[in-house]
């Protein structure tokens, strides 16, 4: 039972970090990103490939974050001067292109066979049986640091400008703010945070392949943000805990139902969809969100 609880905490913590990056982009800057998983994949693969070639793990993680941030900024530069929905289209296209590149560049990524046997942080100092418990502590520490950073940014002048751009970009521009630059910065930072979650996911799974980074992973992050409350970092973390707690506890029901595993998975998604519909009808701001954070223009 302890191992199972640790696995829930690990998964929820990693995806909470992942969703915090999306919350920065959507909740604070109003940017539609439907390909957020691409930056998680960049972080995972860059970290693993560099560490397998002798680069220290910390530097490999940092390189993944920088590359993901640069990729996010590049997409933003190419699309953010156009209508907002162009970013959504481009990011989901980018995520699928990246996944197929990873799937077919076998000489580098081993394609569908995936990568395994790579080093993990402090693996020589922590026993195999206790490693997941140690990693859970590391994930929680990283989550708290990311949360503290984003809360500080949200309360800073930079965060207030982002919110003003989200609510009414024309007003922010009329006050002399470079809305385009702020939005590029937000998507770059959110992408780097997603890459960090990808590195942690790789350490936890000990095996990655392109199928770990399907588009549905992005929509899990959207569920977490919407469930907890857009523009609320605590709400995003709560959304991650609730979603993965729901996934984990409903697995116990499979033994009492006549559903096949695939049918049970589909039933869980249907139930989540119904919950979200009810939430949008009766509490559109999410569990911890505030109505004033909901922009009429979004």
Residue range 100-159, pLDDT digits in tens: 999 999 999 999 999 999 999 988 888 888 899 999 999 999 999 999 999 999 999 999
- Return the minimum-mean-pLDDT range out of 56-60, 62-66, 158-162, 168-172: 168-172
Least confident range from 61-70, 158-167, 254-263: namely 254-263
pLDDT for the residue 124: 84
Whether 298 has a pLDDT exceeding 50, the answer reads: no
Q: pLDDT value at position 296? A: 44
**Any idea which of 188-197, 254-263, 266-275 has the lowest mean pLDDT?**
254-263
Query: What secondary structure letter does DSSP report for 25?
Result: I
What integer best gives the mean pLDDT of the chain? Answer: 89
Q: What is the pTM assigned to this prediction? A: 0.92
Q: Which stretch of 23-27, 137-141, 190-194, 282-286 has the lowest confidence by average pLDDT?
A: 282-286
Q: Taking residues 2-11, report their average pLDDT.
A: 88
pLDDT at 297 over 60: no
**What average pLDDT score do residues 154-175 get?**
90
Count the neighbouring beta carbons within 10 Å of the beta carbon of residue 148: 11
pLDDT of residue 250: 72
Confidence of residue 50 (pLDDT cuts 50, 70, 90): very high
pLDDT band at 98, cuts 50/70/90? very high
Give the C-alpha separation, 237 to 218, whole Å.
15
Average pLDDT over residues 83-97: 88
Considering only 7-11, 127-131, 163-167, 232-236, which range has the smallest mean pLDDT?
127-131
Give yes or no for a contact between 69 and 191, defined as CB atoms under 8 angstroms apart: yes
**Alpha-helix runs per DSSP H in 37-175:** 37-52, 57-79, 84-104, 106-109, 128-155, 157-167, 169-174
Q: How many CB atoms lie within 10 A of CB 249?
A: 10
The ranges assigned to domains in the chain are: 2-214
Residue 35: strand, helix, or coil: coil
Q: Which residue has the higher pLDDT, 189 or 129?
A: 189
Mean pLDDT of 90-106: 94
């Amino acid at each position: 039972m302890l191992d199972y609880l640790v696995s829930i905490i690990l998964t929820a913590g990693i995806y909470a970090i992942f969703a915090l990056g999306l919350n920065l982009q959507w909740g604070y800057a109003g940017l539609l990103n439907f390909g957020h998983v691409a930056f998680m994949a960049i972080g995972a693969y860059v970290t693993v490939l560099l560490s397998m070639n002798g680069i220290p793990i910390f530097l490999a993680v940092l390189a993944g974050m920088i590359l993901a941030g640069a990729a996010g900024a590049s997409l933003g530069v190419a699309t953010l001067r156009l209508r907002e929905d162009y970013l959504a289209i481009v990011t989901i296209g980018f995520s699928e292109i990246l996944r197929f590149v990873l799937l077919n560049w076998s000489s580098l990524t081993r394609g569908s066979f995936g990568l395994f046997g790579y080093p993990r942080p402090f693996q020589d100092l922590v026993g195999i049986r206790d490693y997941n418990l140690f990693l859970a502590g590391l994930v929680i520490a990283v989550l708290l640091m990311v949360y503290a950073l984003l809360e500080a940014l949200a309360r800073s002048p930079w965060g207030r400008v982002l919110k003003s751009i989200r609510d009414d970009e024309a007003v922010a521009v009329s006050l002399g703010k470079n809305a385009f630059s702020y939005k590029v910065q937000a998507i770059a930072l959110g992408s780097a945070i997603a890459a960090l979650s990808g590195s942690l996911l790789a350490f936890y799974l000990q095996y990655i392949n392109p199928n770990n980074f399907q588009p549905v992973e992005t929509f899990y992050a959207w569920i977490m943000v919407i469930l907890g409350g857009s523009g609320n970092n605590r709400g995003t973390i709560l959304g991650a805990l609730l979603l993965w707690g729901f996934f984990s506890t409903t697995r116990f029901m499979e033994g009492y139902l006549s559903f096949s595993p695939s049918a049970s998975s589909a039933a869980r998604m249907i139930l989540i969809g119904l919950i979200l519909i009810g939430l949008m009808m009766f509490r559109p701001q999410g569990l911890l969100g505030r109505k004033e954070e909901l922009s009429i223009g979004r």
